[in-house]
Chains A and B, each alone.
Chain A
Amino acid sequence: MGERDVQRVLSMEPFASMDPSRFRPPITLEGIVRNDTRLRRLTRGEIVVRAGDYGNSAFLIVQGRVRVILPPGLPEESLGRASPRQKNWLQALAQLWKNPGHPEVRDVSRYVSEPEKTPPSPARLIVRDAQGQMLQEQILTSAGHEGIRIGRGADNDLILDDSAASSSHARLQATELGWEIIDLGSSNGTFVSGERIEHHILGGGDEIRIGRSHLRFVGEGDLDQTSMLSTRILNPSAVDAEWGNTVIEDAAQAGAGHTFVQDIPAVLDHTQSAVLKTGDVFGEIAALGRTQRTATVFAEEDSILLEIRWQGLRDLRKRDAAFRKHVEDLYRANSLITHLRATPLFSHLPDDVIDEIARQTLFESFGEFDWHTSYQRLADQPEAQRLKIEPEIVRAGDYPDGLLLIRSGFARVTRPLHKGQQTINYLGRGAAFGLDELLAGWNGEGQSTYRCSLRAVGYADILRVPTRVIETHVLPNLTEAQLERARQMQAETLKDSLATYRPGGNATPTNALDVRPSGDDDALVETLVDRHLINGRAAMLINLDRCVRCDACTDACAVGHQNNPRFNRHGHRHDSLMIANACMHCADPVCMIGCPTGAIHRSSEQGQVVINDDTCIGCATCANSCPYDNIRMVEIRNNSGEFVQNNATGSPVMKATKCDLCIDQPGGPACQRACPHDALERVDMRDLPNLLDWLHR
């Protein structure tokens, strides 16, 4: 952001009320605004966030108005997503002879018209003199290759009565990117928003200065006519451009696709919605918790939004008490009570007690939110080094000061073993830790301490319900049956742990931590946690002791995807277990962060992470974010087998591809069904007993 915009943002609420002295170098308040925020101009109807997207930023409405579509929200198709329809048997069988002979063939006619063929919308140019008096207005159309010539000379299309303007000063040219102003070598130069330019794509509200004349560019594009699934370049919009020329889309998004709500009145008629106006903030809970957006938000009129990425939000929350309270109050009001009610220990409690627990609950974050960026470096570290890096949430032997509920992320449970730490379990969202110790303390069974350590793997957001609250409000109100259930709660958590796992047998939670390590499985669990493979909800595991390398899995995958296998029968190995390079449909799908069009999304049906090929713009953000290298970028071909090229740049058109768990096939994942030797299984890595059972068949 430019200096002027930074200062303007700092003068706005909530930044104006923040005490800069609370922000110590190198993280200053001004630095946060400069580095972790950006201004985004949105045109009427443009979708800001979609329900179901993974949040990684919040928004402050600087100017304009947005609409929040309340549940059940808009249909998936309106959001630029299109879950493929499941084929029937005949259609599935027809793939045998209908699949194309070339790899990565697409029916390019499905894609909307090429953006470069779309002329920019008509626009207006309002000319004022140095005193601001309107002199004339010119309607701009895209007709003619010469463009619209501006200057003092009589042969210009727009003649300026201005001695400081050159006779042929500048030209306005219609391009696929919008209206471009080109300086024709004038003596005094052409200025846009105060900066001298040689050529510049104009945005709505841009102020052009030629000589002493001021020209204001006003776009008049009828955005409602834009196809909802189009991937066209944004045309300028008519926002009041008091803001500097740093009001931009993200560099990755400049020229990228945007999705629009087409018929706004109809949407407002058929859905429930709420209005957010200038000064309102939205999206912070999803951004800070990296949870899915719960609602779709679109610009009801041309607007300017300040997008604050999660790193900035985190720093603001850490250093500004009011902002922290604002975020926590929001979470308490909207999500925490639901979370507590879903926790078995609290499910029977009356509303006022739940409210009290919610008031007392502490929020804590551990680890790196963007763990995927340092994934490879950490995975290659020696184990001891890795454990040092992983933030310790609680340490074995510490006083149990609360019940820990995992709100998001993952944590590993370790216990001291000789000179090191043995991983005996891993916990994900919704799991609880420490209840056993709290119960022991409450029952007067001596001084109770945590028996295991808990460490954040990557990152973990924790809700800490203080011991005092549990002892005051929860344990005394438990009936014997509920108390027994509570006693078993920790055992339930440990049920899934390696410490209690017995092949083919029932778990024995009692004294679970007293068992000796079980050899090979220990090393496997350590590997799964170290490599963050516990993130997988449908990881492709191959038992190499049974796999005859027949490639039936690959062939079956190819048949279901137009002869393009969507995985590699290759990947990380641990002994005779291979975790193949196939999308794991993660619990924490970091690939979805930053997709500019929302093309990669979680299916609303069974939660598969899928890519909508129609709205994928080939930016590779998802492929770069996936720490497991399970997304491949491919060059697409047309039905004749020719590579499809971008007409403007001549470069091949790329698409992101990955396993979609055969979402459109009648029988589910073909790889698993096609393996004749029971060597391949799609496994939810959070279900450790099932995983070990499969391995020990």
Chain B
Amino acid sequence: MMRFAKRRRVNLTAWAIVVLIAAALFAAVSAGLTRAPFWTGWLLIGTVVFLSLYSQRKRVSMLPIGRAAVWLQLHAYTGAFAIVVFVAHTGFSLPDAPLEWLLWLSFVGTAGSGLAGLYWSRTLPPRLAATDEELLYERIPMFSERLRRRAEQLVIAAATQTDSVLLGDHYRTHLAELFMAPHWRWRHLGPTHYVTRQRDRLIALERYLSEDEKPFARELADLCRQKSDLDMHYTVQGLLKAWLFVHVPLTAAMLLLALLHLVAAHAFGGT
């Protein structure tokens, strides 16, 4: 079984060779009388069409046409190749017409979202795996509601059993919003200071609590941690799904614009 590191080296080497061959061909074509942008344009649209096949592959998972993982590798490296071809095609220059601007932006958006998606796909799953619970995205609101009820029952129990409202006040002031619903928080993509802050507050509060109240405070702190994990799953899993809602429509728009661009280039671009 080939290790990922070795596979990466092999794939990068193959990719570099293909890029070098393409660059050599591009140089040869540019040196001749043929207009290079026509060739790079056709190459670019070909690679983009090939890239778009990947989403079709996902739909026909029942056919034995290679593992999706192999297709994703092809998709990623072909995408990187498309960026090189795109640069060659545009010649580092910005567009000068509305259609070209739209096409340029859709390509950059597609490539950018693809790179971001790839980065998140490789870096975010370990964050999910680090939590105690494996959560299904669709069930997160249900779990969140369950946690909110548990937290509120805990605070009410603390108030009735200890005859103190301090924990209840703290919950209303600082924690009620946390437990209200699943929250999409960008901070979960970075270090999770938020939950630490909430727990620190509860620990700080302990000095004012009676011995009877302290177990309630500790359990509440544990619920804070669970809710933070829940929000982190909500954010990270949501992001891992959401980026495709940018990438796929942009690809479709880019293909449509590329077709228009192709027709316009051949109709008005001369020979």
Contact A504 B3 (CB under 8 A): yes
Q: Is A620 an interface residue (CB 8 A)?
A: no
Q: Is A349 an interface residue (CB 8 A)?
A: no
Q: Is B262 an interface residue (CB 8 A)?
A: no
Q: A544-B128, A549-B128, A550-B240 are in contact. Are A693 and B1 (CB under 8 A)?
A: yes
Q: Is B60 an interface residue (CB 8 A)?
A: yes
| Stretch with Cβ within 8 A of A (4 or more), from B21-29, B67-75, B186-194, B263-271 | B67-75
Residues of B within 8 A of A697 (CB): 1-4
Q: A93-B62, A667-B63 are in contact. Are A545 and B72 (CB under 8 A)?
A: no
Q: A548-B240, A552-B68 are in contact. Are A674 and B1 (CB under 8 A)?
A: no
Residues of B within 8 A of A555 (CB): 61
| Stretch with Cβ within 8 A of A (4 or more), from B118-126, B143-151, B166-174 | B118-126
Residues of A within 8 A of B125 (CB): 544-549, 677, 679
Contact A578 B240 (CB under 8 A): no
Q: A92-B63, A677-B72 are in contact. Are A576 and B126 (CB under 8 A)?
A: yes
Within 324-374 of A, Cβ neighbours of B (below 8 Å) are at none
Contact with B along A671-686 (1 / 0, CB 8 A): 0111111110000000
Measured CB to CB, the nearest residue on chain A to B121 is: A548
Measured CB to CB, the nearest residue on chain A to B65 is: A667
A559 to B60, CA, bound (A): 9
Category for how many chain B residues contact A: 20 to 34
- A666 to B: closest C-beta gap in Å: 5
Q: A570-B134, A697-B4 are in contact. Are A667 and B62 (CB under 8 A)?
A: yes
Contact with A along B39-80 (1 / 0, CB 8 A): 000000000000000000011111111111101100000000
Contact among B1, B72, B136 with A570 in the assembled complex (CB-CB below 8 Å): B136
Measured CB to CB, the nearest residue on chain B to A560 is: B62
Q: Is A212 an interface residue (CB 8 A)?
A: no
How many residues does chain A have at the interface if contact means C-beta atoms less than 8 Å apart?
42
Measured CB to CB, the nearest residue on chain A to B62 is: A92
Contact B61 A673 (CB under 8 A): yes
Q: Is B137 an interface residue (CB 8 A)?
A: yes
Contact with A along B235-261 (1 / 0, CB 8 A): 001001100000000000000000000
Q: Is B129 an interface residue (CB 8 A)?
A: yes
- A697 to B: closest C-beta gap in Å: 5
Q: A544-B125, A545-B126, A693-B1 are in contact. Are A569 and B61 (CB under 8 A)?
A: no
Contact B134 A573 (CB under 8 A): yes
Contact B68 A675 (CB under 8 A): yes
- A57 to B: closest C-beta gap in Å: 40
Contact A677 B69 (CB under 8 A): yes
Q: A544-B129, A569-B136, A694-B1 are in contact. Are A676 and B71 (CB under 8 A)?
A: yes
Q: Is A665 an interface residue (CB 8 A)?
A: yes
Contact with A along B1-26 (1 / 0, CB 8 A): 11110000000000000000000000
Contact A556 B61 (CB under 8 A): yes
- B68 to A: closest C-beta gap in Å: 4
Contact B240 A666 (CB under 8 A): no
Interface centre among A559, A665, A674 (most CB of B within 10 A): A674
Q: Is A690 an interface residue (CB 8 A)?
A: yes
Q: A548-B124, A549-B128, A549-B237 are in contact. Are A674 and B59 (CB under 8 A)?
A: no
Measured CB to CB, the nearest residue on chain B to A87 is: B62
- A565 to B: closest C-beta gap in Å: 12
A50 to B4, CA, bound (A): 47
- A83 to B: closest C-beta gap in Å: 18
Q: Is A95 an interface residue (CB 8 A)?
A: yes
Residues of A within 8 A of B124 (CB): 548
Contact A550 B241 (CB under 8 A): yes
Q: A550-B240, A668-B64 are in contact. Are A96 and B59 (CB under 8 A)?
A: yes
Contact among A548, A569, A676, A679 with B58 in the assembled complex (CB-CB below 8 Å): A676
A697 to B62, CA, bound (A): 26
Q: Is A670 an interface residue (CB 8 A)?
A: yes
Contact A674 B64 (CB under 8 A): no
Q: A549-B128, A573-B134, A667-B63 are in contact. Are A677 and B58 (CB under 8 A)?
A: no
Residues of A within 8 A of B3 (CB): 504, 696-697
Contact A666 B61 (CB under 8 A): no
Residues of A within 8 A of B237 (CB): 549
Measured CB to CB, the nearest residue on chain A to B138 is: A551
- A590 to B: closest C-beta gap in Å: 26
- A605 to B: closest C-beta gap in Å: 17
Contact A559 B62 (CB under 8 A): yes
Contact with B along A521-551 (1 / 0, CB 8 A): 0000000000000000000000011111110
Contact B64 A673 (CB under 8 A): yes
Contact B60 A676 (CB under 8 A): no
Residues of B within 8 A of A679 (CB): 125
List residues of B whose CB falls within 8 A of some A CB. 1-4, 58-69, 71-72, 121, 124-126, 128-129, 134, 136-137, 237, 240-241
| Apart from A545-B126, A676-B71: 6 A-B pairs, beta carbons within 8 A | A96-B62, A549-B128, A560-B61, A670-B62, A678-B69, A696-B3
- For the complex of A and B, list the 10 residue pairs with the smallest distance between their C-beta atoms, beginning with the closest: A667-B64, A556-B61, A544-B129, A576-B129, A676-B72, A676-B68, A674-B61, A92-B62, A678-B69, A545-B126
List residues of A whose CB falls within 8 A of some B CB. 89, 92-93, 95-96, 504, 544-550, 552, 555-556, 559-560, 569-570, 573, 575-576, 578, 665-668, 670, 672-679, 690, 693-694, 696-697
A and B contact pairs by CB, cutoff 8 A, 13 listed:
A544-B126, A548-B240, A549-B125, A552-B61, A667-B62, A670-B61, A672-B67, A674-B61, A675-B68, A675-B69, A677-B125, A694-B1, A697-B2
